[in-house]
A and B are shown apart, each in its own frame.
Chain A
Amino acid sequence: AQKITQTQPGMFVQEKEAVTLDCTYDTSDPSYGLFWYKQPSSGEMIFLIYQGSYDQQNATEGRYSLNFQKARKSANLVISASQLGDSAMYFCAMREGGAGGYQKVTFGTGTKLQVIP
C-alpha cells in the first residue's frame, strides 16, 4: 500500500481564489508528522507547513493551512488567495516514528498546481 497518496496529478485555480490539494496517508505508527513542500520549476523543495499526529489544532502558516482529519488519515493543504507565484509542484510527505533515531520521510507523487491570471 502507498504510504502517501496524492490523487490529483494536476490542478488549476484562478488567481486570488482558494485551492485544496488532497493527501491521504497510511501508517500504523501512533507518532508521525505530516509535511507539505513546494517545488518550483527550479527544483528546490521548499518547506511550507507541518502537522504532528498529536497536535490538537490544524497547522497554519500565512496563506497555507493544513486540514488534518486524523480518523480519515487525510492531511489536505489549503492555499488561500492564490498568487501566480504559487504555480509549482506540491508534495505531501510523512515522517514515521517518534523522538530518537532516524526519521523516515516518505513523499507522495505530487500535485502540479497552475494559477491562472
Chain B
Amino acid sequence: DTGVSQDPRHKITKRGQNVTFRCDPISEHNRLYWYRQTLGQGPEFLTYFQNEAQLEKSRLLSNRFSAERPKGSFSTLEIQRTEQGDSAMYLCASSGQFSTDTQYFGPGTRLTVL
C-alpha cells in the first residue's frame, strides 16, 4: 500500500503565474485535506473534501485559491496570480471514513514565488 503522494515536490514560479498541485490520497481514504505550512510554523488548514464534496474552507483560502476532487480520488489545488506571500509548503493529508481517523500526510509541495 502506498501512502499519500504529491506532485510536484518543488515548484518555483514567478509572481503572477498560476500553479497547480496534485495530491493522491491513500486509496481507501475518502477524506482529503490541504494544509499550508510556512517556515517556523505548524501546518494550517486550508480545505477539506469528503469524497468529491468540498465541505470546509478556511478563511486563509482566498479567492485566488481553488481546490477540486472531481472523482473523489485525487485532488488538485490551484493558485492563480501567485504572490510572494504564497511561498510555503503545501501539504495534503487523507483519512478514513470516520471523523476520528488519523490523518496521514504526503511529502508536500514546496512553492517558491520569485
Contact = CB atoms under 8 A, between A and B. Distances in A.
A104 B33 CA distance: 10
B42 A33 contact: no
B74 interface: no
A42 B99 contact: no
A104 B103 CA distance: 11
Interface stretch (A11-19, A45-53, A68-76, A79-87): A45-53
A107 B44 CA distance: 7
Interface residues of B, number: 27
B89 A43 contact: yes
Interface string B56-95: 1000000000000000000000000000000001010101
Contact of A99 (B56, B99, B110): B99
Contacts of B33: 105
B45 A105 contact: yes
Interface string A1-38: 00010000000000000000000000000000101010
Report the interface size class on chain A: 20 to 34
A108 B45 CA distance: 12
Contacts of B45: 104-106
Given A105-B45, A109-B41, A44 B99 contact: no
Contact of B40 (A42, A52, A109): A109
Contacts of B104: 47
B108 A44 contact: yes
Interface of A: 4, 33, 35, 37, 42-47, 50, 52, 91, 93, 95, 97-110
